[in-house]
Amino acid sequence: MNPSRTILHRVYRVGAMATAAVVLSSIAPASIAPASMAAPSATTDNSANDTCESAARLGRAPDQSDYTLADLRRIDRRLERTLARRSTGTTGGARFGLVLRIPVHAHVIDGNRTRGVSKRAVLRQLSILNNAYDGGQSQYNASTPFRFYLESFDRTRNQRWRTASMFDDADIQARRRLHQGGPDALNMYFSAPRSPNQDAVLGWSTTPWRAKRYPRIDGVTVNEQSLPGGDLAGYNRGDTAVHEVGHWLGLFHTFEGGCSPRNDRVEDTPASREPSLGCDLEKDTCEAEGLDPVRNFMNYSFDPCMNMFTQGQVARMTDNWLAYRTP
């Protein structure tokens, strides 16, 4: 397999969650708000080789960036070239306050004896998503131009699809069969995915620079128990979807690039050497200015902790939208 480092995911680990529970129990409720966590992903399907992560990191806690500095520079150069080619026309209006309404095609995958989430639960998740992308959850959260509305809802019964691993044969088959719309439409798959090591996977996402090359697998998978009120304690306020849609719109993890000057390619997210797996607000892993961005939606912290995007992240999401997801 020739991984191209273009997909990211979140893995639920009991050991990490037990540690987090201790950390969060000492924080006053008023000082925390929802969060997300992510980790690298993999595939065994050769047709998805250009959209996969290395399988080596599955089943263990993430401890480094998913992209090399060369990867980050290459992706930046491509973004700059693509934006330059598309600099004329009407798409630039997104830079000046226009709202971009994104249709969502929601695909709920039932098991043989298990029914997936309801349409009402999906609508509640979209409400959380819209609140986060409209600057809600905290006074520090920058508002984005993206708003999401339910365009379609379908339900499929298929046990293999329901527990599929990241971009394995079953997952590729499900996506190709269910996907709707073009690169400007968000396909969300709600299921109970497992990793090859049988970890409960919280979710994963494709990236915008691969959307037109691999249109039928573009989208976001979200573990149904990470939706508001789900059973994954610490991860059940709906911010797995917020995090994964951030990847779908082109954001890296905040710790990408480690302590290098441009780290995650966003100037106003402080550099960090590693992900935050709890809610240590004093964590500082780089000598650069600023504490680690523990509350940022694109870190690995837990739902009760994260509550913000930065203005720089908003600009990068908008640039990726204009470059890759506009008609």
Helix (H, G, I), strand (E, B) or coil at 54: coil
Q: What are phi and psi of 308, to 5 degrees?
A: -160, 145
| C-alpha distances in Å from residue 318, one per residue of 127, 207, 250 | 21, 14, 9
In one-letter notation, the amino acid at residue 26 is S
Q: Which helix H or strand E contains 8, and what residues bound it?
A: strand 8-12
d(CA 126, CA 132): 10
Tokens of 141: 């959260």
d(CA 61, CA 14): 11
Cα-Cα-Cα-Cα torsion 103, 49, 239, 127, nearest 10 degrees, comes to 10
Tokens of 4: 């191209």
Query: Which string of DSSP letters, residue by residue, matches 252-283?
Result: PPTTTTTTSTTTTS-TTS---SS---S--TT-
d(CA 204, CA 197): 16
Residues belonging to the active site: 244
Quickly tell me which residue has 């004329």 as its tokens. Answer: 88
